[in-house]
Amino acid sequence: MFESLLPKSSVFIFWSLVSSCIAYNYTQYHPIPDGNVGSFPKDKYVTQPLNISRFLKKWTNGYYSHKEMFLYIFKYAKPGMLIDKDLEKEIDFYNYLIDSSLYQMKIFEDLRLMGQNEVARESLTNNVQEAIHRNQNPKNCTDNEVLGYEPKESCGIGCQVNQLAYGLAIALMEGKPLVVTGSQWHNFNTIFDIIMPLSQTCHYHKKKYNKLKMKLIEFADDYKVKEFLTPAFPANIKEKIEEFHTDPYLWWMGQLIKYILRLKPIIWNKLKPIHFASPIVGIHVRRTEEIMDGAKSYPVGEYMKYVELYFRKIELTQRISQKTVYLASNDWKVIEKFRSR
């Protein structure tokens, strides 16, 4: 039986999940009739405002607990393992559990969208971007100390953006502008051939003329103020972020990268929009240096299992006319294998 695959502490939870699926399907909603309810006049009722931050914390616990249990079932159970021979009609309990769990996850995700405070998100996004701009563009750059960063080696765009985000986070914590020298990237002199400079008023080359009071920073091992290192972010905006996001640090890093990846107008003008069909699944398969460093290489089929699960979840509530996968990889062989699926 399937119980043998589960830890004893999980058996009760597992069958509780099964019973909750069944109970959910048979639960009926009973509306309260119009007029007074008992001795309470209808016009005396008040609505308590929803605490979005508290809601998102509860939502996160519920969603990821359910998702973890679902993935455990999906990984270790097999079709045919949950068949009850005493039933007159053979029922595929395995696929029933998968579909029921996917449907409940879809309900969770729809509920999450209802709990987003879009006004708070947009307002805080604008405020943070303005704060970064002010910090990076003082009126007179020679009056105060700036932070300088010199890349030690050439690396790809993802690597360079990671370094810039690290430096920008520290600069904001210290309240000082960040100036950098760009390292070579493919056929460009620096990454700043395609993105806007981090500052319009502070420039690294002024260091040569002793017009900048500069303190060079290094990566985490050498930087002294450990409180400013990732995953640190401003404490005074934590509660505001939690009104619309379940991971404040992730949102904060997204804001830094958003500022960094402001493309130059000449690059924008050369970009051609690609119109994707919805729904679409994005996959990143990274090979080369990670594999050489000993990381495990997963076959294409392992990725596609979860792609198919995603589309299966969507198809429970809507029809999909075209399934689209966006693949990013640095290995052409991987791309060919995905095309053959």
The pLDDT of residue 166: 87
Residue 288 in any domain: the answer is: yes
56 plus 174 within the same structural domain: no
Residues 259 and 315 in one domain: no
CA distance linking residue 172 with residue 206, whole number of Å = 21
- Shortest CA distance to 152 belongs to which of 121, 116, 123, 183? 183
**Within a domain: residue 36?**
no
Report the distance separating Cα 243 and Cα 55, nearest Å. 9
CA distance 180 to 81: 59
> Do residues 171 and 289 share a domain?
no
**pLDDT score for 74:** 80
Identify whether 312 is part of a domain.
yes
Same structural domain, 146 and 257: yes
Residue 125 to residue 132: CA distance in whole angstroms: 11
Both 262 and 288 in a single domain?
A: no
* Dihedral sign of CA atoms 304, 305, 310, 313 in order: positive
Domain limits for position 291:
280-340
309 & 261 share domain: no
If asked whether residues 144 and 264 sit together in one domain, one would say: yes
pLDDT for res 115? 62
Is the domain of 74 the same as that of 192?
no
Structural domain includes residue 159? yes
Question: Residue 288 burial (CB < 10 Å; 0-12/13-18/19+)?
Answer: exposed
Q: Which two tokens stand for residue 333?
A: 């062989």
The domain total for the chain is 3
Burial of 239 (0-12, 13-18, 19+ CB in 10 A): exposed
- Looking at residue 221, what is its pLDDT? 53
Asked if residue 156 is part of any domain, the answer here is: yes
The segments of the chain whose pLDDT lies below 50 read: 1-33, 35-38, 40, 42, 45-47
E-only strand ranges, 54-202: 145-149, 178-180
* Single-letter amino acid code for the residue at 13: I
Q: Tens of pLDDT along 240-266? A: 888 788 788 999 999 999 999 999 999
